[in-house]
Structure 1
Amino acid sequence: MAKLPISIQAMEASCCVTVLPRKKRIVYSSWIWVLTFMIYCSYHLSRKPISVVKNVLHQNCSSLTPPENVNASVDPTWCDWKPFDGANAPTLLSTVDSSFLFAYAFGMFLSGIVAERVDLRLFLSFGMVLSGLFCAMFGLGYILKIHNIGYYIAAQVMCGLVQTTGWPGVVSCLGNWFGKGKRGLIMGIWNSHTSLGNILGTLIAASFVTYNWGLSFIVPGLIIAGLGVVVFFFMVPEPAMVGLPNPNKKMELEGTSSPHTRRRQMVGEFADTSDEERASLMANESPAIYDDKIKVVCVEAQESKEEKAIGFLEALKIPGVIEFSFCLFFAKLVSYTFLYWLPNYILYQTNYGPEESANLSTFFDMGAIIGGIMAGLVSDYTGMPAATCSIMLIAAIPMMYVYQTFCTVSLGINIFLLVVVGILVNGPYSLITTAVSADLGTHQSLNGNAKALATVSAVIDGTGSIGAALGPQIAGPISSYGWQYVFDMLMVSDVLALLLLTRLVLREIQRWRIRRREAAPARL
C-alpha cells in the first residue's frame, strides 16, 4: 500500500487518533473532494491559454493601428507571430492544438494502466509539476523570440503526455472515497472543475494576451506546478491509508454479535500479524472504532489476496464501456471544438477584440457547469444515464444551429445562447467522464475489485480524447471555407453520438418498465 505523506502522518499522530470513524471519514472525504476539484481545475486552467493566444498569433493586421516604427505597407503581417503569419495559419494553429490532443489521447490509455499500479499521490504530483513546466515552455517562446513551429509542437506534445496523469488519477481517488449513492449529483457538481478551470484559464490568459502572451502560459504553469506540491504533501488517495474502509467494498463479519467474540475471531484469522498489531486489535476501544478497524484489516487482506489491476481488454469487456467510449468520442469532439475555437469564432463573427471575445466565450463554460450538474441530478433520479445523455444530445443539435444563426443579433442573445449550448453540449460529456466512468469502474461484473477505476476511466476518456483531437484539427481548415461547415460537422457528430447510445437507452427503458410493473401491486 502507498505511504501517507509526512504531513498527514503528523496530523494522524497529533489529533486524529481519537476521532470517531464517521467524523473522520467526513473530514477526509470532504478534503479529497475539494483537493481533486482544485487539481483538475488547474489541469484545465493550463490547457485553455492556447485558445485565447491564437487570436494574437494570427490577426487581421489591416484592421489594427501599427506602431510608429512599423510600416504596414512593407510588412502587412506586422501584428502576427511567426510562423503563424501566413495564409496557412489556421492549419498550423490546428496542428498545434492537435499535437496536444493526440498526445493526450494516446497517452491516456497507458496512463490509466500505470495509475492502477503506482502511488496516486506521487503520480499526480509529478504529473502536475511537469504539466506546469511544459505549459510554461510554450510561453517562453515569446520571451525567447522563438519562431520555429517545431518548438511549439514539441511543447504541446510533451504537455499532452504529462497531462494524462490528471483524469485517471482524480477519478480513481474520488471513486475510492465515494460510493455509488448519489454519485451522479456529487460528481456532476465536482465536474464543474472543468468549466471553472476553462473560465479561470481564459481570464488569466486574456489579461496578458494583448501585451505579453507568454505570461498567458507561464502564470497557469506556475499555478498547476504549485498545486502539485500541495498534492505531494496533503493527498490521501485511499481510505485504508488512514484506517477507513473503502465504500465500494462490502465486507460482512460473520459470527456472534459480541464485539469480544469478533475480536477473538479476527486474532485467529490474522495469526501471522505482529504482536503489536494483535495488541492493537485487542485494545480497549469503543466498539464503533474497533469494528471499523476490523473492516479495514479485512479489506487490506482481501486486496492483497484477490485484487489485481485489470488490463485494457478486460476493461472493454465491462458492459457499456464500448458504447459510452465511442459516444464520448463524438461528444468530446464537439465540446473541444468549442473549447479551442469559440474565442476565434466570436472574434471573426463580431466586432469584439481578442480579449473581449475570450471573456465572452466563458459563458459557454458557465453553461457547462449547469449542464454537468443537471445531467448528474437527472441520472441519479431516473437511474438512466444513457437516456439522460440522449435527451441532451437531441436538444443540442438544433441549438447549435440557432446559435450560429442568431449569435450576432445582440450581446444579450449571444450570452443566452452560449449558456444554453454549453448546458446541452457539455452535459453528456460531463456525465460520461465522471459518474458513468466511476460506475463502470466499480461494475458488479468486477466482483468488488476496486483496481479498475483508473483503467476504465482512462479507456473511456482516452477514446473521447481522440475525438477531441480530431475536432479542432478538422475545424481549422474547414473554417477557411466558412464557419457554417464547422457547425454542420458538430451537429453530425452529435447525431452519431446519439446513435451509439441507442442499445443502452432501449435497455434502460426496458428495465424502467420492469420496475414499474413490479411496483404496481405495491401501489394498489
Structure 2
Amino acid sequence: MARLPAGIRFIVSFSRDQWYRAFIFVLTFLLYASFHLSRKPISIVKGELHKHCAGGEAEPSFSGQSSGASHRPPRQLPDNETDCGWAPFDKNNYQQLLGALDYSFLCAYAIGMYLSGIIGERLPIRYYLTFGMLASGAFTSLFGLGYFYNIHSFGFYVVTQILNGLVQTTGWPSVVTCLSNWFGKGRRGLIMGVWNSHTSVGNILGSLIAGYWVSTCWGLSFIVPGAIVAAMGIVCFLFLIEHPKDIRCSSTLSMHSKGYESTVDRFRLHRPALHGEKSRPLDPEMQCLLLADGKSSICPSHVVVLPGDSGNSMTAISFTGALRIPGVIEFSLCLLFAKLVSYTFLFWLPLYITSVDHLDAKKAGELSTLFDVGGIFGGILAGVISDRLEKRASTCGLMLLLAAPTLYVFSSVSKMGLEATVAMLLLSGALVSGPYALITTAVSADLGTHKSLKGNAHALSTVTAIIDGTGSVGAALGPLLAGLISPSGWSNVFYMLMFADACALLFLIRLIHKELSCPGPTAGGQAPLKEH
C-alpha cells in the first residue's frame, strides 16, 4: 500500500471534533476582528476632519509644540472642504467635537452592552450576531456617506455614532459565549490570549484600510470597513455553529452532550465541593475567588443559580444574580479603568502622533498600528502567565503596575524622535492591552462558568456583558476626557491615564491578596470545567 501524502497524513492526524474547534476559533476570530476594523476609521479620519490651517485662524499648540512645524504642499480643495478640514470640525473647538463623537459611540455601547447580554441569553447566537453585524455595517457606511452627500450637521454624525454603538454590542457577548461553548478551561488563558489578538488585528486592518483613502476620499474610509463587517455578518449566518452538540461533536464540557441525565447525575458530573463530600480540590484560582480564606468548603450562600428540576431546563441568570458571583464586581471595576486607557489610545493615538511627530494622517495611522502589534503579544503573554500561575488577578496586577511608569516614559521620549516613539508604542501596547485582554476573555469566561453557578449554561453571556459593559463606561470616559484635557497639553492626558491605571490596580488588591495567600498550584489539581 502506498504511503499517504504528507498533507493527507496531517489532515487525518486531527479528529473531526478538533477540526470543528479550529474552524470555530478562526471564524469567531474573523467575526470580531471585523467589528474592530469598523471602529478604527474614526480615529484615522480625525486628522483629516481637522487639519492644520493653510491660513487664517491659528492652530492651537500641544505640549509646547508649534503648530507651524508641519507644512503641507498646497492642493486644490473640493467644494465641500475648507482649509481647516471638514465643517463643523474646522473650528478651534474641534477637539471637543471629536471627543463628543467618541463619547456618543462609547456611551451608547456601554449602555447597550448591559442589555445585550440579557437579550443574547434568550436568542440564538447566530441570528443575534448576524443582525448586529449587518446593522453595524450599515451605520458605519452611513457615516462615510456624509462625505459624498456633503453633510455638515454635527447631529447627523452623533446620531450615527450612537446607533452604531448600540448595534455593535451584539458582538462581544455572542463570540465569547460561542468560543467558551467549544473550549474548556484547561488552557483558556493561552487560547483566549491568542484569540483576543483579533482586537489588534482588526485595529491594524482598520487603520490600513481607512488610511488608504483618508487623504483623498475619507468617506470610503468608512464605507469599505462597513461593507466588510456586513459581509462577515452573512458569513456568520451561513457558517457559525453555536455549540458542539448542534453537530453531535463531543464536547470537553460533557454535561450538555447528555441532556437526558437527571439533575442528580448532572451534579455528580459537576462534583461540587459540598459539605462532607470528598472530592478533588478546586483549582487554586477559583478557590481564592470563592472562599474567604482559601481553605474552607463552599458555603451554600455562594450558590447563585441552581438548575431547574425539569432535567434539561435552566433559566437565564438575572442581572443581580450575576453580580453576586465572586469576583465579578472587582474585575468589572478594574476593567472600567483599564479600558479607559486602552480606548483613549484607540481613538486619540493617531492625532497625538500627528501633533508630536508632525506626520500626516495616513502615516500617523500606520504608525499607530504598532500599539496594536504590542497588544497582540501582551494579550498572549498575559494568558500564558495566568495559565501557568493559575492567578488571573495577580497577572493583571503586575502588568498594570508596570504600565503606569511606562506611560510616563512614553510621554517623555515620544518627543525625542520617531525611533523612540516606535519602541514605546510596542511596549505600552503590550502592558496596556494585556490586562484588558485577559479580563474580557479568560476571566469573563471563568466567572461566567463559575462553580457557584451549579452548571447554569445561561450565565456566560450576561456575565461577559456586565464586565465588558462596565469597562465600556471607562471606554466612553477616556476619549471624552482626552478631548477635554488635551488643549492644556498632552502631558496632562498621560497623567490622567497613569491615574486610571493606578485605580484599576486598586480594585484588584483584594483578589490579589486572596490569590497570593492560597497555596501554589499543584500538578493536576485543576478540576475539569463541567458547568457549561
Shift of 1:365: 0.3
Q: Please list the CA deviations of residues 402-453 of structure 1 after superposition, one character each: whole Å capped at 9, or x if unmatched.
A: 1110113232221111000000000000000000000100000011111111
**Whole-angstrom CA distance in 1 between matches of 2:433 and 2:159:** 29
Q: Please list the CA deviations of residues 204-253 of structure 1 after superposition, one character each: whole Å capped at 9, or x if unmatched.
A: 00000001000000000000000100110111111111113543354899
**Whole-angstrom CA distance in 2 between matches of 1:323 and 1:151:** 37
**Whole-angstrom CA distance in 2 between matches of 1:302 and 1:134:** 44
Counterpart in the other structure of 1:113: 118
**Whole-angstrom CA distance in 2 between matches of 1:462 and 1:485:** 27
**Whole-angstrom CA distance in 2 between matches of 1:124 and 1:108:** 13
Q: What pairs with 1:226-241 in structure 2 (closer than 5 Å)?
A: 226-241=231-246
State whether residues 248 and 448 of structure 1, in contact with CA within 8 Å, keep that contact through their aligned partners in structure 2: no
Shift of 1:466: 0.4
Give the SS at the match of 2:430: helix
Question: Are 1:144 and 2:144 matched, yes or no?
Answer: no
1:495 is aligned, of 485, 490, 502, to 502
**Whole-angstrom CA distance in 2 between matches of 1:444 and 1:140:** 49
State whether residues 213 and 221 of structure 2, in contact with CA within 8 Å, keep that contact through their aligned partners in structure 1: yes
Structure 1 residues 351 and 25, CA gap change in structure 2 (3 angstroms): same
Give the SS at the match of 1:146: coil
Counterpart in the other structure of 1:100: 105
State whether residues 249 and 448 of structure 1, in contact with CA within 8 Å, keep that contact through their aligned partners in structure 2: no
**Whole-angstrom CA distance in 2 between matches of 1:344 and 1:69:** 22
Give the AA of the match of 1:61.
C
State, as a whole percentage, how many aligned pairs show the same letter. 52
Q: How many residues align?
A: 453
Give the AA of the match of 2:15.
K
**Whole-angstrom CA distance in 1 between matches of 2:317 and 2:380:** 30
Counterpart in the other structure of 1:27: 19
1:336 is aligned, of 323, 335, 343, to 343
Counterpart in the other structure of 1:219: 224
Uncovered stretches (5+) of structure 2, i.e. residues with no partner: 1-10, 55-70, 266-306, 526-532
2:391 is aligned, of 384, 387, 399, to 384
Counterpart in the other structure of 1:419: 426
Shift of 1:309: 1.1
Give the SS at the match of 2:446: helix
1:316 is aligned, of 323, 331, 342, to 323
Q: Please list the CA deviations of residues 189-217 of structure 1 after superposition, one character each: whole Å capped at 9, or x if unmatched.
A: 00000000000000000000001000000
Give the SS at the match of 1:478: helix
1:370 is aligned, of 355, 372, 377, to 377
**Whole-angstrom CA distance in 2 between matches of 1:501 and 1:329:** 12
**Whole-angstrom CA distance in 2 between matches of 1:29 and 1:221:** 28
Q: Return 333-342 or 305-314, whichever deviates more.
A: 305-314
Question: Are 1:458 and 2:458 matched, yes or no?
Answer: no
1:162 is aligned, of 126, 148, 167, to 167
Q: What pairs with 1:403-414 in structure 2 (closer than 5 Å)?
A: 403-414=410-421
Give the AA of the match of 1:122.
Y
**Whole-angstrom CA distance in 1 between matches of 2:230 and 2:257:** 43
**Whole-angstrom CA distance in 2 between matches of 1:48 and 1:68:** 27
2:437 is aligned, of 427, 430, 433, to 430
Structure 1 residues 329 and 52, CA gap change in structure 2 (3 angstroms): same
State whether residues 245 and 256 of structure 2, in contact with CA within 8 Å, keep that contact through their aligned partners in structure 1: no
Question: Are 1:173 and 2:165 matched, yes or no?
Answer: no
Give the AA of the match of 2:510.
R
Structure 1 residues 248 and 76, CA gap change in structure 2 (3 angstroms): closer
Q: Please list the CA deviations of residues 94-121 of structure 1 after superposition, one character each: whole Å capped at 9, or x if unmatched.
A: 0001111000000000000111111100
**Whole-angstrom CA distance in 1 between matches of 2:310 and 2:371:** 43
**Whole-angstrom CA distance in 2 between matches of 1:76 and 1:176:** 50
Structure 1 residues 105 and 81, CA gap change in structure 2 (3 angstroms): same
Give the AA of the match of 1:171.
V
**Whole-angstrom CA distance in 2 between matches of 1:410 and 1:184:** 36
Question: Are 1:42 and 2:42 matched, yes or no?
Answer: no
Give the AA of the match of 1:23.
S
State whether residues 17 and 250 of structure 2, in contact with CA within 8 Å, keep that contact through their aligned partners in structure 1: no
1:512 is aligned, of 513, 516, 519, to 519
Shift of 1:334: 0.2
Counterpart in the other structure of 2:476: 469
**Whole-angstrom CA distance in 1 between matches of 2:256 and 2:38:** 41
Question: Are 1:398 and 2:390 matched, yes or no?
Answer: no
Give the AA of the match of 1:309.
A
Counterpart in the other structure of 1:196: 201
Shift of 1:515: 6.2
Please report the TM-score for the alignment, with normalisation by the length of structure 1.
Answer: 0.83
Q: Please list the CA deviations of residues 276-316 of structure 1 after superposition, one character each: whole Å capped at 9, or x if unmatched.
A: xxxxxxxxxxxxxxxxxxxxxxxx99986342211111110
Counterpart in the other structure of 2:359: 352
Shift of 1:363: 0.3
**Whole-angstrom CA distance in 2 between matches of 1:69 and 1:165:** 40
Give the AA of the match of 1:346.
I
Give the SS at the match of 2:312: helix
**Whole-angstrom CA distance in 2 between matches of 1:147 and 1:481:** 27
Counterpart in the other structure of 2:48: 56
